[in-house]
Structure 1
Amino acid sequence: MYRQLATACLLVSLAACSSLEFPGVYRLPIDQGNIITQEMVDQLKIGMTRSQVEYVMGTPLVRDTFSPNRWDYIYTLNDPNNEKKEHHQLTVIFKDDLLSEFTTDIKPSAAATTDVETEITSDSE
């Protein structure tokens, strides 16, 4: 009797720890970090102040204490229902408290790049 009860308890506890997925169970998509959109990247312009960048992008996820002129924005979205994983990263570098460069995996739109080229050519004339 004790042997059957111990075996049943062992099987129930092992089933509780397994990674079996039950069909029809909805799992929430989990997003972490700062949301980075195309519109946000298009608003970034070289020469913006720190507060302007923070207004557009929000508070950075990572502020490196050893490199205070670098801010990193990271966004991940895990959607277990579609098995889709989305990851975006944006790095902002300041020089003299002004935005000097930024790198991201989201390309600025064509309208945003022509605006920057227009500003550069109008400033140099």
Structure 2
Amino acid sequence: MQKAVKLSIAAACLLMISACSYLKFPGVYTLDIQQGNIITQDMVDQLKPGMTKRQVRFVLGTPLITDTFTPDRWDYYYSLKDANGKLTKERLTVFFDEEDKLARFSGDFRAENGDS
């Protein structure tokens, strides 16, 4: 009998501990998780065709992904998972021509004049 009580108390404690990660307790602080490059529309508006790779890197920062097989393409990714679990993703891909000048870009942002 006493062994059954101890076992049930241990099981109840284990159940309560495992529920801590499932239930949202009030007052418990959770962090926002940011990954990648923060890109804003103002930064994208500064991009002009014919810019060098160095100028683009100055405006946008170092790309998150530089493909070895296609060095004329830079990928910028950003994701944010807030404390409530909402996930936000943004993507920007920059393409250069043979002379290492900015040719075009595509993704979740638009050029200021409407074409990218």
TM-score range with shorter-chain normalisation? 0.7 to 0.9
Q: Which has the higher helix share?
A: 1
Equivalent position SS for 1:7? helix
TM-score by length of 1: 0.77
Task: Output the aligned Cα RMSD.
Answer: 2.0
CA distance in 1, matches of 2:16, 2:66: 43
CA distance in 1, matches of 2:29, 2:5: 35
Q: 1:76 aligns with which of 75, 79, 92?
A: 79
Note the 1:43-122 alignment, pairs <5 A: 43-81=46-84, 83-96=85-98, 97-109=100-112, 113=113
Amino acid at match of 1:33: G
Give yes or no for the alignment of 1:16 onto 2:17: yes
CA distance in 1, matches of 2:11, 2:69: 51
CA distance in 1, matches of 2:68, 2:16: 46
| Corresponding residue for residue 119 of structure 1 | none
Amino acid at match of 2:27: G
| Cα deviations by residue, 1:45-89 (Å, 9 ceiling, x for unpaired) | 1111111111111111111122221111011111124x5432110
TM-score by length of 2: 0.82
Q: Give unpaired runs (5+ residues) of structure 2.
A: none
Q: Give unpaired runs (5+ residues) of structure 1.
A: 117-125
Number of equivalences = 111
| Cα deviations by residue, 1:5-24 (Å, 9 ceiling, x for unpaired) | 22222222233233111123
Equivalent position SS for 1:67? coil
Give yes or no for the alignment of 1:36 onto 2:12: no
Kindly tell me: are residues 25 and 50 of structure 1, through their superposed partners in 2, closer, same or farther at Cα, counting changes over 3 Å? same
CA distance in 2, matches of 1:74, 1:100: 19
Give yes or no for the alignment of 1:4 onto 2:8: no
